[in-house]
């Protein structure tokens, strides 16, 4: 009998990779507010707002999933900073409801957090380093992490590095897709040299999250690539790989933009634990980029 997997935010970038790559061992259910174009014939798509908690409880009781991968969130850092009440409800309120449902139904939860939980003052953060928020989005994610760890014994807090790649199912929010569109129109791409990350490709990330949903691991894990890069060097490498001139990449410093919410400078994450406990291989940026460029929505 197939295990039931519920994926929230199934119209999103990360969820699309999960659903596209899920194997036959899973019976798939996805929740999103809007319709998901294309998709898998074996995916049961449920279209409703996760903030409708009574509907969420009904759906959960009906599906009784073995695992939930919770990707849904208000993830735009600047919009979250400007709309804190809405962000609070979606990021914290929905997560709390799902925690309660997972606990009551014996469901394993894989909660998708972020490298933005760190303040960026040291870099190469491991799972034991204390998080410290520099913006409201990160604050909601830290509080969710704490709730998950406090109330669930077998849950996973997966901190995701910057996700690079092309949408595998639906549209999603891919910085790489936007960058390619700009390059193709000979438009410059602004890239901050002061923001350093350990980007992970969306293909590998989807595989890792599926593995975590199906194995016995519990606790915090950093899903990150092997290569620390600032956003400028990353963009130049993407341009070169695609055959575009690096002159289209404009070096900036995001700290100079006072209209943006603060970002951590060096939010690089150490992926030693992921490389030790997962069968899914964490990749160098060049390998991950080649992998995701070869995977387009069919």
pLDDT tens, 129-145?
Answer: 999 999 999 999 999 99
Nearest to 87 by CA among 43, 19, 135: 135
Q: Please work out, in degrees rounded to the nearest 5, the angle formed at the alpha carbon of residue 199 by the alpha carbons of 195 and 202.
A: 140
Question: What is the three-class DSSP state of 216?
Answer: coil
Tell me whether residue 95 is in a domain.
yes
Question: Which class for 269: exposed (0-12), middle (13-18), buried (19 or more C-beta within 10 A)?
Answer: buried
Residue 219 inside a domain? The answer is yes
> Is residue 183 included in any domain, yes or no?
no
Instruction: Give Cα 18 to chain centroid, integer Å.
Output: 11
Q: Judge residue 57's burial from the number of C-beta atoms within 10 Å of its C-beta, 0-12 exposed, 13-18 middle, 19 or more buried.
A: middle
- Token readout for 121 is 């003052």
Domain count, the chain: 1
- Token pair for 268: 């690089």
Answer whether residue 83 is part of any domain. yes
Whether residue 249 lies inside any domain: the answer is no
Residue 157 sits in which domain range?
Answer: 3-165+198-227+268-284
Count CB-CB contacts under 10 A for residue 144. Answer: 24
Return the pLDDT at 37. Answer: 63
Question: Is residue 253 domain-resident?
Answer: no
The DSSP annotation for 217-231 comes to: --EEEEE--S--EEH
pLDDT at 95: 98
CATH number of the domain where residue 63 is located: 3.40.50.720
| Helices and strands: H and E segment counts in the chain | 11, 13
Rounded mean pLDDT for each run of 10 residues along the chain, 298 residues in total: 95 93 96 79 93 97 97 95 96 98 98 98 98 98 98 97 89 86 96 97 98 98 98 96 96 89 96 98 97 67
pLDDT tens digits for range 266-285: 999 999 999 999 999 999 99
Tell me phi and psi for residue 255, to 5 degrees: -65, -20
Residue of 9, 171, 177, 185 lying closest to 98 (CA atoms): 9
User: Smallest Cα–Cα separation from 201: which of 235, 167, 233, 170?
Assistant: 167
Pairing mode, if any, of strands 67-70 and 3-8? parallel
Tell me if 108 is assigned to some domain: yes
The pTM assigned to this predicted structure is 0.96
């Amino acid at each position: 009998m197939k295990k039931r997997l519920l994926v929230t935010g199934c119209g999103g970038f990360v969820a699309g990779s999960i659903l596209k790559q899920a194997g036959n061992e899973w019976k798939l259910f996805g929740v999103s507010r809007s319709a998901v174009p294309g998709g898998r014939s074996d995916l049961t798509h449920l279209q409703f707002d996760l903030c409708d908690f009574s509907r969420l409880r009904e759906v959960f009781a009906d599906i009784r999933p073995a695992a939930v991968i919770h990707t849904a969130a208000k993830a735009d850092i600047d919009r979250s900073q400007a709309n804190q009440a809405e962000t609070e409800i979606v990021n914290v309120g929905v997560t709390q409801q799902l925690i309660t449902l997972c606990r009551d139904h014996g469901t394993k939860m894989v909660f998708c957090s972020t490298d933005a939980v760190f303040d960026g003052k040291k870099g190469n953060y491991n799972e034991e380093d204390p998080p410290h928020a520099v913006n409201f989005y990160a604050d909601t994610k830290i509080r969710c992490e704490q709730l998950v760890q406090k109330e669930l014994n077998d849950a996973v807090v997966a901190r995701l590095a910057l996700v690079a790649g092309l949408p595998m199912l639906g549209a999603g929010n891919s910085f790489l897709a936007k960058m390619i569109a700009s390059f193709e129109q000979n438009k410059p791409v602004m890239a901050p040299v002061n923001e350093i990350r350990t980007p992970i490709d969306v293909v590998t990330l989807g595989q890792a999250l599926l593995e975590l949903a199906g194995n016995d691991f519990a606790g915090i894990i950093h899903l990150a690539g092997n290569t620390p890069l600032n956003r400028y060097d990353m963009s130049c490498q993407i341009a070169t790989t695609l055959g575009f001139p690096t002159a289209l990449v404009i070096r900036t410093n995001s700290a100079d933009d006072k209209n943006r919410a603060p970002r951590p400078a060096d939010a690089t994450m150490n992926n030693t634990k992921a490389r030790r406990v997962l069968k899914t291989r964490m990749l160098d940026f060049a390998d991950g980029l080649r992998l995701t460029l070869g995977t387009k929505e069919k």
